[in-house]
Amino acid sequence: MSRPSAIVLHEFGTDLELRTFPQAVPEPGAVLADVTHAGVCGTDMHLQQGRLAIPLPIVLGHEAVGRVRALGAGVRTDATGAPLCVGDLVSWASNIPCGACTACGADGAPSLCETRRVYGINQGCAQPPHVSGGWSEQIYLQPGSTIVRVPDGVGPEEVIALGCAGPTVTHALRDVAQVREGDVVVVQGSGPVGMAAAMLAAVAGARRVVVVGGPANRLETARRIGVGDVHIDIGAETDPRGRLARVLAETADGRGADLVIEATGVPSAVAEGIDMARRGGTYLVVGQYTDHGETPINPHHITRKQLRVLGSWAFSPQNHVDYVLSVPALAARFDLPALLTAYPLERANDALADMRAGRTLKPVLVNGART
């Protein structure tokens, strides 16, 4: 059998390299999948730069879609109980919580499990099964993985379009804060997390969704596929006071938004977003996944508004299942593949560079794509 190729990070701050690994055979409870599409996430840029402690060498890629190549003994169904067969198109949760800690048990918050295994982030490739990241021709899905068969009528492009942003925002808007029918929602950020937040807020019943972000090409994509009702370009409206005035003008009597979702990853956006929320409203921080430093905040504005300030971290396996099952509804309303720019696996470094420069919104590594 052929040896699968994979993209490997050997040293922080350096280009990734293509190498091959021995063909894996799934143990009982495991699944081997041929990866068709693997997303490039902002977190991957941070991992390459050494902003999170991860084992090296490692096959990156924590969001992917593929087809079942082999089933380990005892695997007969997916996470929903549907039959699972060789050749099925599947998606899988990037993380496997321990199931035994306080977060997993008493708190009912598996996204906070501190020992969860995460594909492409804390699973190195020095030891078998080696291919534990999505930037590969194959991935070894360990026992305990949450694998869900992609619904009929949905292609891999629709599922990977929002990548991990889809289940991340599913967790944020179902488990942490909820969009109520008729809400005005402001989304700070127009990357994949911001796009997912705007889409899911609209589907949940928001009356108006205001997207504050950039660069301009991302906002143009959002307009073209119907994501958001109002789009404010931070590159054109550089004065924070001007941005605030434009946001408030889109709310009832200029009072502010019912819900503001931070999806920028920029600490300074937090103080600005607090100003955009109405009295008694909610400010939800989703985008600060890596530590970009401190930022000044005036807590008086939180108290004066009696504001709920909430944080949302990652997602649970069930959130991933819920997201995948919601993709048909999202695909019926939005042109999800329009978010994607495809690269062959061997051009992973180009995909990272283009994302870092803002030339693309959602790079995706496609096995079989031509250079």
pLDDT in tens, 139-171: 999 999 999 999 999 999 999 999 999 999 999
Backbone angles phi, psi at 364, to 5 degrees: -140, 135
pLDDT at 51: 87
What per-residue confidence (pLDDT) applies to 359? 92
Check: CB of residue 172 under 8 Å from CB of residue 289. Answer: no
For 48, how many CA atoms within 13 A lie in the half-sphere containing its CB?
22
- The answer to whether the CB of 141 falls within 8 A of the CB of 69 is no
pLDDT above 80 for 368? no
Q: Identify the structural domains of the chain with CATH numbers, from first to last.
A: 5-162+315-366 (3.90.180.10), 166-311 (3.40.50.720)
* 292-329 tens-digit pLDDT: 899 999 999 999 999 999 999 999 999 999 999 999 99
Which residue, among 336, 342, 26, 346, has the nearest Cα to 150 in the 3D structure?
Answer: 336
Report percent pLDDT > 70 for the chain. Answer: 99
In sequence order, what are the beta bridge partners of 186? 210, 260
To 10 degrees, the CA torsion angle through 355, 360, 361, 362?
A: -70
The model carries a pTM of 0.95
Looking at beta carbons, which pairs linking 111-118 to residues 24 or more positions away fall under 8 Å?
111/171, 111/313, 111/314, 111/315, 111/316, 111/319, 112/313, 117/142, 118/62, 118/94
| In the predicted structure, residue 370 carries a pLDDT above the cut 50 | no
Mean pLDDT taken over the chain: 96
